[in-house]
Amino acid sequence: MNAETNLTVLLKSMEPVLNEGEYVFCSLPIGFEIPADRADALKLTYQLVHSWITLSVHSSLEAIGLTATFSKALTDAHISCNVIAGHYHDHIFVSKQEAANAMRVLKSLTQ
């Protein structure tokens, strides 16, 4: 399966998926992966609990405009996001409280 580079195709087929769980960003030694409940148990500090959204379209790392388009739409809705571009899919972390709004915004881009 080839990765998609066409922005119109990417937007129409990106199918955002809200993953289960709560996610936090902490400063840790290399190699640690810790979910929010584990961070709490270890008394690690973090600023915000995030939800993780995956854009389940096979986007190319060479695609131009996808990140700019969805981050602009989220910005216009006053939703902060942290983006990780993966080899097959892009991943977006948004505030847990804004997850439903972010999903609505992202789904509107597929129209």
Residue 94 exposed, middle or buried by CB count within 10 Å (0-12, 13-18, 19+): buried
Mean pLDDT throughout 101-110?
97
Structural domain range at position 16: 7-108
Establish if 2 belongs to a structural domain: no
Establish if 91 belongs to a structural domain: yes
In 19-88, beta strands by DSSP E: 50-55, 81-85
Q: How far is CA 81 from the centre of its chain?
A: 7
Total domains present in the chain:
1
pLDDT at residue 1 above 80?
no
Question: Measured between alpha carbons, how far is 83 from 52 in angstroms, rounded to an integer?
Answer: 10
Tell me, what CATH number does 43's domain have? 3.30.2130.10
18-45 tens-digit pLDDT: 999 999 888 877 777 777 888 888 888 8
pLDDT of residue 61: 87
Question: Measured between alpha carbons, how far is 101 from 89 in angstroms, rounded to an integer?
Answer: 21
67-94 tens-digit pLDDT: 999 999 999 999 999 999 888 889 999 9
